[in-house]
Structure 1
Amino acid sequence: MNGATPLHSIGELSARTGVPVRTIRYYSDTGLLPPAHRTPAGYRRYSDAALGRLHLICVLRELDVDLTTVHRVLDGDLSVAEAAAAHAAATALQIRELRLRQSILHLVARRGTSPEETVLMHRLARLTSDERRRMVADFVDRLTADTPGTRSANAALRAALPDLPDDPSGARLAAWTELAELITDDGFRARMAHAALPPSDEDALPGVAPETVAKLIPFVRQTVAAARAAGIDPAGDDAVPIVDAVVERFATALGRPAGPELREWMARQFDAGHDPLVERYWRLVWTVNDWQVVPGHLPFQPWLTEALRRPRPDLGPRTGSASVSRGSSG
């Protein structure tokens, strides 16, 4: 074989590539690395081209490309670029699955759930996009059927449907899981049906004449939104002039003294017009959809109620009329 290209044994290929002899033999047996020649004794011999072929096999396998795809590349049925693109897409799915698994594990660890809750959380987190949408649609359909006559509120509900992406962050997945637990609870649906969807100004003061509410609530909502946007703590001193201005506006509109009794009445009314669990629903929807929380869209009642009930030595006790002063115009 004078002038012929030298051939290599399996052992030589192994020494030059670091691939175990057993693996090279397996590639050869499956047709990935056919020998160029066999000796009279049956030993396989490989050309330099086989050495390059083995290097490519090793790279593709290291990238976790399956053997069937490697075969197609080596046979010329698929280019390396096409194989890489297909495998990149498959790898993205694997990464998404691993992220989902990691998020579920973090969620279970953080919440300290029971075995039953863990199973439920896992099932809710792994629903497909279509299954999630059907679950939300069923909740909304049943809810709006329970609340006829609240067309604008129901429209707002349908305009803000939670939509979890296929590759969510841990925070969005956690919010979706909690939200899914809420909307599958008949008791919560009853609370949503009882509350405004979302809370509207007409429902903020139960039992008060609509024309009076129309004068007061927009002012209150804007005032509290501005305070929230400024980062004012309802229990802090900076909240005092804000809540005083609100109370004065109520005293004028209702013809009542702007004293402790009016403040406590306002706090009770706002408590009655606010459901913390319904507010939680809306916050979860915003998180799932990755929407920015706008202070003006938050229920104003919790902030104002806390500010109203903040101890005020300058106002005296809440009982009796002796403490009624502060220049009420009512």
Structure 2
Amino acid sequence: MNDRTELFTIGQLARRTGLPVRTIRFWSDIDVIPPTGRSASGYRLYDTEAVARLELVRTLRELGLDLGTVQRILARQSALADVARAHVRALDTEIRSLQLRRAVLRSVARRNSTTEEMRVMNRLARLSAQERQRMIDEFVDRTFAGVDPYEPGARIAEAMRQMPAELPDDPTPEQVDAWLELAELVTDPEFAQRVRQMAVAGGQPTADRGGPPPYDHAVVIEQAGRALADGIAPDSAEGRAILDQIIGPGVAADERVRLADEVATFTDRRVERYWELLGVLNDRPPFPPRVPMFEWFIAALRG
């Protein structure tokens, strides 16, 4: 008897393949590995083709295919390549889920979060791209409702929608934190009210806002930034000298107060934080904060 005609019992198959006897018997019972014949004593016997079939079944099972799918492949009802492609997609989803879970746990460990915070973080991190975008869209729609689509405020609204289509396959802890913080922002009514105030004010005609501003944004950033770096108080003599370089010494006191109120309307650290978080999620280079410079400018105007 040669290798092609040699027959094996289930016990011999188990020793040859390293599979448990009960696993081979179960697969044989459901005809995944049908016996070639039976011995005089009634024991099931298998040929070398069954051995090869058994190795294939083991491989398919290790790849995560259920027995029903394995049976269809062996019966040629499903093309192995099509099944493999489907399982690649499934594995990609599972890997992504595990990566997100790992990122959330990293964030929990770093934040020293409570159990409730971890539950919320996990729920938010696992939202689909569509669900995340819908959360942002609903915030923008509520906040900018009634704003003229041709006004600057509407352009801000569109920019605020720019969520990435997906979190990265392996998001950094910073990106998970950014999404969680962003989700907290857009569900905060006070934040929504503040953004709407800015949008509505930005849609007013320039004449209603006292005409074009008598200062250059770049000059504010340069001069107020230098003042902050040097520790110059906005109500000091040095601060007043820097303010004169920004708006000129001839601006009346009441106009300075009006200007301070107007600048304050468009100056908010949480709104700037929103743009920073979008930048983290979209993997954009960070930008230096501008709000502290304008806060110094506002304080100098009121000083």
TM-score range, shorter chain: 0.7 to 0.9
After superposition, the Cα gap between the structure-2 partners of 1:236 and 1:78, relative to the gap in structure 1 and judged at 3 Å, is farther
**Map of 1:302 onto structure 2:** 292
Question: Quick check: 1:217 aligned with 2:210?
Answer: no
The counterpart of 1:176, out of the listed 170, 174, 179, is 179
8 Å CA contact 1:33, 1:50 repeated in 2: yes
What code does the residue aligned with 2:217 have? Answer: P
Unpaired runs of at least 5, structure 1: 238-242, 257-265, 310-318, 320-330
8 Å CA contact 2:60, 2:70 repeated in 1: yes
After superposition, the Cα gap between the structure-2 partners of 1:156 and 1:251, relative to the gap in structure 1 and judged at 3 Å, is closer
What code does the residue aligned with 1:220 have? Answer: V
8 Å CA contact 1:274, 1:301 repeated in 2: yes
d(CA) in 1 for partners of 2:273, 2:227? 20
Percent sequence identity over matched residues?
A: 36
Q: Aligned-pair distance for 1:134? A: 2.6
Secondary structure of the residue aligned to 1:216 is coil
The counterpart of 2:190, out of the listed 177, 183, 187, is 187
8 Å CA contact 1:164, 1:172 repeated in 2: no
8 Å CA contact 2:243, 2:297 repeated in 1: no
The counterpart of 1:285, out of the listed 278, 283, 291, is 278
Structure 1 residues 50-65: aligned runs within 5 Å: 50-65=50-65
d(CA) in 1 for partners of 2:101, 2:163? 19
Q: Aligned-pair distance for 1:190? A: 1.2
d(CA) in 1 for partners of 2:223, 2:9? 83
- CA deviations on 1:249-281 (whole Å, 9 max, x unpaired) are 32536458xxxxxxxxx9998667521111111
Structure 1 residues 119-134: aligned runs within 5 Å: 119-134=119-134
d(CA) in 2 for partners of 1:149, 1:82? 47
Which segment is superposed worse, 179-188 or 41-50? 179-188
Secondary structure of the residue aligned to 1:32 is coil
Question: Quick check: 1:249 aligned with 2:245?
Answer: yes
After superposition, the Cα gap between the structure-2 partners of 1:307 and 1:289, relative to the gap in structure 1 and judged at 3 Å, is same
8 Å CA contact 1:235, 1:306 repeated in 2: no
d(CA) in 1 for partners of 2:20, 2:3? 30
d(CA) in 1 for partners of 2:8, 2:267? 82
8 Å CA contact 2:279, 2:286 repeated in 1: yes
Q: Aligned-pair distance for 1:50? A: 0.7
After superposition, the Cα gap between the structure-2 partners of 1:197 and 1:28, relative to the gap in structure 1 and judged at 3 Å, is farther
Which segment is superposed worse, 36-45 or 161-170? 161-170
**Map of 2:229 onto structure 1:** 235
**Map of 1:315 onto structure 2:** none
**Map of 1:323 onto structure 2:** none
Q: Aligned-pair distance for 1:132? A: 2.5
Q: Aligned-pair distance for 1:91? A: 0.6
- CA deviations on 1:32-86 (whole Å, 9 max, x unpaired) are 1111011132101100101111111121222222212211221122233232222
Structure 1 residues 1-12: aligned runs within 5 Å: 5-12=5-12
d(CA) in 1 for partners of 2:164, 2:218? 35
8 Å CA contact 1:156, 1:198 repeated in 2: no
8 Å CA contact 2:215, 2:246 repeated in 1: yes
Secondary structure of the residue aligned to 1:292 is coil
Which segment is superposed worse, 108-117 or 93-102? 108-117
After superposition, the Cα gap between the structure-2 partners of 1:197 and 1:157, relative to the gap in structure 1 and judged at 3 Å, is farther
The counterpart of 1:275, out of the listed 259, 268, 272, is 268
Q: Aligned-pair distance for 1:188? A: 1.4
Secondary structure of the residue aligned to 2:98 is helix
Q: TM-score if structure 2 supplies the norm length?
A: 0.76
Secondary structure of the residue aligned to 2:215 is helix
Secondary structure of the residue aligned to 1:235 is helix
**For the aligned residues, what is the CA RMSD?**
4.1
What code does the residue aligned with 2:72 have? Answer: R
After superposition, the Cα gap between the structure-2 partners of 1:208 and 1:235, relative to the gap in structure 1 and judged at 3 Å, is farther
What code does the residue aligned with 2:211 have? Answer: P
8 Å CA contact 1:235, 1:307 repeated in 2: no
- Give the paired residue count: 287
Q: TM-score if structure 1 supplies the norm length?
A: 0.71
Which segment is superposed worse, 131-140 or 90-99? 131-140
